[in-house]
Copies of this chain bind each other. A is one copy, B any other.
Amino acid sequence: MSGRRLVNGVEGAGLATDDRGLQYGDGLFETMLARDGKVRNFDLHMQRLELGCRALGMPMPVSEVIEAECTKALRGLGTAVVKLVLTRGSGPRSYAPPLEPNMTRIISATSTQSQEQEWGKPVTAVICETRLGINPSLAGYKHINRLEQVLGAAELRVQGVDEGLMFATDGRLIAATASNVFLVKEGRVLTPDIRDCGIAGVMRQLVLRAAEDLSVPVAVGDFTLADVQTADEVFVTNAVRGIRCVSEIKDMAQYSIGPVALQLRDHIVATAG
């Protein structure tokens, strides 16, 4: 595994300790899959980043600058994961954001074995005890306040599973620790509404689009543990690992691998640019 890190385009630079990304989690991120120097679905990632910037009242960087920095970071890496962290930059001690922030862009590229051919691979899961707080002001955006996911992911190691389903404090199914989640029930694809909790994943968007292309009926709504228990298939999605089928939720349920998840995967892989 090899990699490269750039801070505002400069390789190997460190971060100022007064960066608001560190002090308050005042920033956003994108985790992207790249092949041969090119980021997949770059435009979708930039669209989400821009929505996040608007919600946090931060200026959106010129996406060509980010693209050029990704290219620089990716040189010679083949298939790689690119993570961009965008923060509101340095500032004095105060929650109040500076009026004219000097934003910080941190781009890390790391070569990976993750291959689209492996998408659909079965994973085991657990129901996380950690719940997700509800907040319409922050829902949907990929901001760097991720302690809930950190606590959720810590549960997976203890349980010896690959992923964990996370529910909101009011009991609604929201996501997996590092993925969006989908259920399949009687041929219908179900996924949580993320109006007040959760992240609007790029792969989630591609799955919804694929379902539309294939005329698979979809419901975006509120689902509970009972819906998870009675689903025919459960799968989790993110931009790096694509679609992963949940084979088992520990001590709770087992699921078939496809056919709907695999059909959606094949369509996404086939139509990828």
Q: Once the chains bind, are B85 and A22 in contact (CB under 8 Å)?
A: yes
Most buried by B among A23, A85, A153: A23
Residue among B18, B24, B148 making CB contact with A147, cutoff 8 Å: B24
Q: Once the chains bind, are B21 and A22 in contact (CB under 8 Å)?
A: yes
| Nearest CB of chain B from residue A220's CB, rounded to whole Å | 21
CB-nearest residue of chain B to A83 = B93
Which stretch in A39-47, A128-136, A187-195, A224-232 binds the other chain?
A128-136
Q: Is residue A115 contacting chain B, with contact meaning CB distance below 8 A?
A: no
A137 and B146 contact, Cβ closer than 8 Å, known pairs A7-B17, A108-B18: no
CB-nearest residue of chain B to A139 = B133
Q: Is residue A237 contacting chain B, with contact meaning CB distance below 8 A?
A: no
Number of copies: 2
Size of the A side of the interface (Cβ < 8 Å), in residues, is 60
Interface string of A23-36 (1 = CB under 8 A from B): 11110010100000
* Chain A stretch 194-215: residues in CB contact (< 8 A) with chain B: 196
A134 and B93 contact, Cβ closer than 8 Å, known pairs A15-B15, A17-B7, A145-B146: no
Q: Once the chains bind, are A25 and B154 in contact (CB under 8 Å)?
A: no
Can you sample 29 A-B contacts with CB below 8 Å?
A5-B18, A15-B17, A15-B19, A17-B108, A22-B22, A22-B87, A24-B144, A24-B146, A25-B145, A25-B147, A31-B93, A57-B154, A83-B93, A93-B108, A94-B153, A94-B178, A95-B178, A96-B154, A97-B150, A99-B157, A131-B136, A131-B137, A132-B135, A134-B169, A135-B148, A136-B169, A145-B146, A145-B147, A169-B196
